[in-house]
Amino acid sequence: MTKSNLTRRGMLKTGAVAGAGLAMPTIFTGASWAGSHTGFTNAPQGSTVTLGFNVPQSGPYADEGADELRAYELAVEHLNGGGDGGMIPTFSSKTLDGTGILGKKVEYVTGDTQTKSDAARASARSMIEKDGAIMITGGSSSGVAVAVQALCQEAGVIFMAGLTHSNDTTGKDRKANGFRHFFNSYMSGAALAPILADAYGTDRKAYHLTADYNWGYTTEQAVRESTEAMGWETVNTVLTPLTQTDFSSYIAPVLQSGADVLVLNHYGGNMVNSLTNAVQFGLREATANGKQFEIVVPLYSRLMARGAGENVKGIFGSTNWHWSLQDEGSQAFTRSFGTKYGFPPSQAAHTCYVQTLLYADAVNRAGSFNPCAVVEALEDFEFDGLGNGKTLYRGADHQCFKDVLVVKGKENPDGPYDLLEIVEVTPVEQVTYAPDHPNFGGAEASLGSCNPGA
Amino acid sequence: MDAIILQILNGLDKGSAYALIALGLTLIFGTLGVVNFAHGALFMIGAFCAVTLQKILSLSHQVVDESRKDFLGNPLKVDVPYIYEWFGETTGQAIIDWSVPLAILFSIPIMVLVGFAMERGLIKHFYKRPHADQILVTFGLAIVLQEIIKYFYGANPIPTPAPDAFTGSFDFGVLLGFDPFTIIYPYWRLIYFAFAMIVIAGVFAFLQFTTFGMVVRAGMADRETVGLLGINIDRRFTIMFAIAACVAGLAGVMYTPINSPNYHMGMDFLVLSFVVVVVGGMGSLPGAVLAGFLLGVLESFASMAAVIDIIPGINQIIIYLVAIVILLTRPRGLMGRRGVMEE
């Protein structure tokens, strides 16, 4: 008889306690936004100014976070007059001259969001309170962006969002101190639908698999509404758990549902796995309703596309930016980033780099680090030369409006970074919506007023 | 009907993975009395054996191709695997293509070594300690192994495709008289199921028909008496640990074409595998296998759109719901016997 204290129930109990411990959020206690008091939080005192780069350095999006951090380091180098200046010479606003921001040398601190809202808030809070960061930027998830944006609003610092695609970031959860350069679910749907109708016809039946969280819902809604407006029918929408790794049991019934298009509202590891599974199950060779079966991935990322390997070939999706763009700004950035790191930048790197430059320029134009002055300088600011053509930072919701790229997995890639090809650059007019659009919180959604903090 | 057949098939390959991991867990429970939370990490290391072999086989040197340009406009540097030069491009490509099946051979010695090192180096010292200590130390070890893998291979999944001969899928529907494309099933998942059956049969045969297996089974039932008979049971248990590690590792190797491996894949399976062990009956090897397949199939059924429409969210809780029902009605699990792992 083996001696043992272990019982089944005991084991389950221990497991449950261990699980609860792992899932326990960092608990925040009372706020004390003590900065240097000159009318706003963390007013720079000496000859330097500190920016806080809050990116996933661990967890599932660590590689994306690493690319964001590379972009931030490059931006700081360029702001301080190092390197080839990247997009500073191509930027339509000319206040950046390599002497930092308002003459102060730019320094930075980094935090690890772990792609968890509580961890991201804790690291942002620490950078604001301990390191005196005047602005927080970065991230690779909408959950994190919304959480950190609310914290920055409360703390009285500016938040320049990184990669966040959910409508809510500049929709129902918009904040006066927060700004998003990245595009959103609605724009993806609006840009994709006409291309899909062109390529696959207007008589299609779509089946949606959707990641069961905020970003998934807004993306499904956007693609569903815009494709239905083109004449498509939505056969079914199924929510999949965020922790799912094998999607076979969700994918297998698709062909029996009468659908002839599968839309994968998944990102990151979810996307890699669901797409791989769909291809394994022969969906790309299948015919349904007398048509070739097709798969669509609304939000593409090159870093994720690599994980899916061969399976992305020929599949449509949208992206905020791609290094193969031929405009002056994109080329300057790709050259600068590629020379320093040896490979082209991702869309996450691009949006983070641009956000840093936009912030620095806004401070210069405002002549002050005061968040309220910066907000004023960024609102309804029109610019060009940063890789997306003419862009407007709309004052009503702090969302950037610019052209959207519809891309396709490349059939014959030249090397490991050449995975996507641009199918169309959808003009900004086609993806613009009213600030009180029902998908963005409707008439109730409000920025509130800017908070300078201390 | 076709939908039901499809979900049973689906459950079988998922069940195969659960059964293989749970089998190893039960072996370690039964022989060493250790709750091994690092078992999922062994599955993950197995998968990365396949990744590593693929990387080794595709080791390349760069050749400048003047006719093509890279993203900076410089002449494109093309990676040419050394293996192309040694065996010619066709044979070289075929060898790389077969890296996952080849990784079975590659992984066995590695997994035995990892299992041996883990047992002798760490777990041995925790035999006499409370189970809470064992769980903490093995869970900690799992995180360490995970971070090591992440450090070397990054956080993103790495595509590790099956050989071209096994890509694509088999149309069961046509075979059974349904319309084409109603019941299709990827070849590799069929292979995974067959492979799991062979490994499970192998482990059972080993325990049932060899003297070594007999001693181990005797030791599982009564360690002290076997020791008193002058048999070095500890050494045999170490070997069993290595075998269990090997089973988990092989399950991982063969799983790579199903889902691109990443550093976290072990954790994804670990908790479910523990539920499988408890449902199957602690210490019962057939119970672990039965429960693995049962939960795999149930999970598949629960994720059918028709089922979710009736009970929203059932796909996320089905396994735990079944575990609760079984533990309430059969407190020792499906095949657990009185007195095993109980005070």
Residue ranges per structural domain of chain B: 2-57+102-329
Q: Cβ distance B244 to B21 under 8 Å? A: no
Spell out the alpha helix ranges (H) of chain B. 2-32, 39-57, 82-87, 89-97, 99-121, 131-153, 172-175, 187-209, 211-221, 223-228, 233-255, 265-280, 285-302, 305-310, 314-329
- Final residue before a domain boundary, out of A402, A425, A440: A402
Instruction: Give A307's contacts in chain B (Cβ within 8 Å).
Output: 156-159, 260, 262
Cross-chain residue pair A334–B185, CB shorter than 8 Å: no
Query: In chain B, which residue's Cα lies nearest the Cα of A207?
Result: B305
Contact B10/A248, CB-based, under 8 Å? Answer: yes
Q: Would you say residue A436 lies in a domain?
A: no
- Let me know whether A304 and A202 are in one domain: yes
| Contact yes or no for B83/B106 (Cβ under 8 A) | no
d(CA A263, CA A237) in angstroms, rounded, equals: 9
ipTM of the complex: 0.84
Q: Is residue A337 part of a domain?
A: yes
pLDDT per residue, tens digit, chain A (454 aa), is 444 455 555 555 555 545 444 444 433 333 333 333 468 999 998 999 999 999 998 877 888 899 999 999 999 999 999 999 999 999 999 999 999 999 999 999 999 998 899 999 999 999 999 999 999 999 988 999 999 999 999 999 999 999 999 999 999 999 999 999 999 999 999 999 999 999 999 999 999 999 988 899 999 999 999 999 999 999 999 999 888 888 988 998 898 888 999 999 999 888 888 999 999 888 988 888 999 999 999 998 877 788 888 889 999 999 999 999 999 999 999 999 999 999 999 999 999 999 999 999 999 999 999 999 999 999 999 999 999 999 999 999 999 999 999 999 998 887 778 889 999 999 999 999 999 999 999 999 999 999 998 7
Q: Give me the domain span that covers residue A143.
A: 48-183+323-402
Structure tokens at A4: 């043992």
Inside any domain, residue A7: no
Which pLDDT belongs to residue B285? 87
Q: pLDDT tens across A332-373, in order? A: 999 999 999 999 999 999 999 999 999 999 999 999 999 999
| Chain A residues lying within 8 Å of B158, measured CB to CB | 307
Q: How many residues does chain A have?
A: 454
Chain B residues close to A5, C-beta within 8 Å: 130-131, 343
Residues A150/A125, Cβ–Cβ less than 8 Å: no
What is the Cα–Cα distance from A441 to A109, expressed in whole angstroms? 34
Which amino acid, one-letter code, is at A437? H
pLDDT at B170: 85
Is residue B340 very low, low, confident or very high in pLDDT (cuts 50, 70, 90)?
A: low
* Domain presence at residue A280: yes
Whichever domain contains A291, its CATH number is: 3.40.50.2300
> What residues have CB less than 8 Å from A411, skipping those under 6 apart?
A313, A314
pLDDT of residue A3: 46
Question: What is the Cβ-side half-sphere exposure of residue A114, based on CA atoms within 13 angstroms?
Answer: 11
Q: In chain B, which residues have their Cβ closer than 8 Å to the Cβ of A289?
A: none
Q: What tokens were used for B190?
A: 């069929």
Are residues A62 and A109 located together in one domain of the fold? yes
Q: What is the mean pLDDT of residues B234-241?
A: 86
Q: Considering chain B, what percentage of its residues have pLDDT values greater than 90? A: 42
User: Could you tell me if A390 and A273 lie in one domain?
Assistant: no
The pLDDT tens digits of the residues spanning B269-306 come to 888 888 998 899 887 889 999 999 999 999 888 888 78
Interface test with A, best of B16, B156, B225, B297 (most A CBs within 10 A): B156
Chain B residues touching residue A335 (CB < 8 angstroms): 72
Cβ contacts of A7 on chain B, cutoff 8 Å: 341-343
Q: What is the pLDDT of residues A154-196, one digit of tens each?
A: 999 999 999 999 999 999 999 999 999 999 999 999 999 999 9
In angstroms, the separation between the Cα of residue A3 and the nearest Cα of chain B is: 7
| Residues A266, A375 within the same domain | no
Looking at residue B252, what is its pLDDT? 95
Total domains, chain A: 2
pLDDT tens readout for residues B218-236: 887 777 788 888 888 778 8
List pLDDT tens digits, range B56-75: 999 998 888 888 888 887 88
Question: Is B18 in CB contact (< 8 Å) with chain A?
Answer: no
Assess whether A381 and A359 both reside in one domain. yes
> Whole-angstrom Cα distance, residue A138 to residue A352?
6
Residue B181 to residue A286, Cβ atoms within 8 A: yes
Check whether domain B2-57+102-329 has CATH 3.30.1330, yes or no: no
Identify residue A95 by its one-letter amino acid code.
T
Q: What is the CA radius of gyration of chain A?
A: 23
Residues A262 and A368 in one domain: no
Q: Do B341 and A417 touch (CB under 8 A)?
A: no
Of A63, A248, A276, the CB nearest to B156: A63
Res B329 pLDDT > 80: yes
